[in-house]
Amino acid sequence: MLKVFEGFRPANYAYFSVAMNVGNSLFLFIFMPLVSGKLKLKDSTLLIIISICETFSNLLAPFVTNLWLFYGTQFLGMIGYCKYSTTRSLLSKCVGDDEIGKIFAVQSILIAIVYLISIPVVKHLYIVTIGTFPGKSRVIKLYQSHLHPK
């Protein structure tokens, strides 16, 4: 963010991180109970909405050149943290009461395996595709201006 958005400072990233954590908490503790309780949306419907919001957030973020648009995409993706509790809620309704612990254990193991596999895959994909980054020319100019100040 320091290299892509002009005028962005390390203190801005600290504010951004705090705002993201507060936003995640608001989604988890206020928005989700209101949506599921008042609107009576089912967990499967909530997971679809969460997935759509998170997908649009991840697809749009690399293409924005304005800091406020980037904040908007990140705000849209904040609801993604609600998928874990919603998935557990949905899974607990699909099995008997004596099986809930087992299904949660299987879910935790699967999440750990996915992270072990996905991190190297995403890292490799990033290295291979960095040349096609939409904001590449702007980032290169910013790097050059930092390396060779006038």
Block means of pLDDT (10 residues each) for the chain, length 150 residues?
76 89 90 88 92 93 83 90 88 90 91 92 82 59 55
Q: What is the pTM of this model?
A: 0.70
Tell me how far apart the alpha carbons of residues 62 and 25 are, in angstroms, rounded to a whole number.
25
Contact between 8 and 142 (Cβ < 8 Å): no
Contact between 74 and 61 (Cβ < 8 Å): yes
- φ, ψ of residue 40 to 5 degrees: the values are 55, 40
